[in-house]
Amino acid sequence: MTVDLQEISDYLENHMILGIKASTLVWLLTIVIVAVVLERIITRYLSRFARRAHLAPNVANSLVLTFRLLILIGAVASAVKVGGLSTEWIVALSAMGGAAVGFASTKTIGNFIAGLYLLAARPFRVGDYMKVETVEGIIDEITINYTKILTIGNNVVSISNLQVMDRDIVNYMYKDSEGNSSYCYTFEIGFDHSVSTTEIAKIFDDVFEQYKSKFKKRPSYMLTRSGSFERIYTVYLYVAHPTDVFNFRPLMAEEVFKRWDSKRPKK
């Protein structure tokens, strides 16, 4: 028994179901099946990618939702085409919709693309200690649209991903020669010339000795620049956890200045 494909095609073209050609219903059913299968495959792939990349659950959900919407839009467009709407109407509606969306959400689309780039390139991760221009702190959350930073003042600053891409980024994480990860945080302390460099060196050494057990590696310092009125030193803190920066930077700075004040000539 042979199957005549031409007869099947003619039957589907000429047979009506609920006022719709059977061939059209077959195409619509095919589009639905392809869309469902494609959605399942992409969702599983993105879920595995999110686990490997250690993405936050909300970020992974945003990616899945985005691709589901893209698949839905493609399926609807294909169904409209198969349903008999002319190409001119499809092009016109697409152009109008695209222009409206593009005009209304240029920054949103830019943020979305920037968010995808940050998730793929991963210049930083949730939990890293970062500095983005003048804002520094611990990365609290990375979404498709915003990067949220917890500052030392216990405030969460949200920066659009498009702005993050346009700003200078400093990631304080580094790996030593053995491949161990930690954070090397630096900050500056300035003094006038009322106390000698020898005394300042002793102040740093005493304070670092006091706090060395709190860090993975003993803190260090370096004279960065010197002018007519002040000397600027850069202090290096080697911490295992970013929260240690919040805890010990103000304490150490306060201790350094207390000792410096005690060494200054009395007026």
Residue 201 is inside which H or E element, if any? helix 197-211
CB 149 within 8 A of CB 136: yes
Q: What does the pLDDT read at residue 39?
A: 83
Q: What does the pLDDT read at residue 157?
A: 92
The closest alpha carbon to 159, from 171, 141, 172, belongs to 141
CB 46 within 8 A of CB 64: yes
Task: Return the HEC string of 40-93.
Answer: HHHHHHHHHHHHHHCCCHHHHHHHHHHHHHHHHHHHHHHHHHHCCCCHHHHHHH
pLDDT in tens, the chain (267 residues): 444 545 555 544 555 555 556 666 667 778 788 888 888 888 888 778 777 766 666 666 666 777 777 777 777 777 776 665 555 545 555 555 555 455 444 556 666 677 777 767 777 888 899 998 889 999 988 877 788 999 988 899 998 888 888 888 888 887 777 777 788 999 999 999 888 999 999 999 999 999 888 888 899 999 999 888 899 999 999 988 889 999 999 999 999 999 999 888 876
- In order of their start, the domains of the chain are 5-104 (1.10.287), 123-171 (2.30.30.60), 174-263 (3.30.70.100)
Q: What does the pLDDT read at residue 7?
A: 54
> What are the Cα distances from residue 135, in Å, to 15, 20, 96, 154, 237?
67, 61, 40, 13, 19
Q: At what angle do helices 5-14 and 22-53 cross, to 10 degrees?
A: 100
The residues pairing with 150 across neighbouring beta strands, listed in sequence order, are 138, 156
What b/e sequence results for 136-155 when a residue is b if at least 16 CB atoms lie within 10 Å of its CB, and e otherwise?
bbbbbebbbbbbbbbeeeee
Q: What does the pLDDT read at residue 223?
A: 93
Give the torsion sign (CA, 150, 156, 161, 167).
Answer: negative
Measured in degrees and rounded to the nearest 5, phi and psi for residue 145 equal -105, -30
159 three-class SS: strand
CB 144 within 8 A of CB 63: yes
Measured in degrees and rounded to the nearest 5, phi and psi for residue 220 equal -140, 175
Measured in degrees and rounded to the nearest 5, phi and psi for residue 131 equal -130, 120
Query: What beta strand segments (E) does 133-216 contain?
Result: 135-142, 146-150, 156-160, 169-171, 173-175, 181-191
The closest alpha carbon to 120, from 144, 137, 146, 139, belongs to 144
Q: What does the pLDDT read at residue 191?
A: 92
Q: What does the pLDDT read at residue 3?
A: 46
The closest alpha carbon to 182, from 234, 136, 244, 122, belongs to 244
* pTM for the full predicted model: 0.60
23 three-class SS: helix
Q: What does the pLDDT read at residue 104?
A: 44
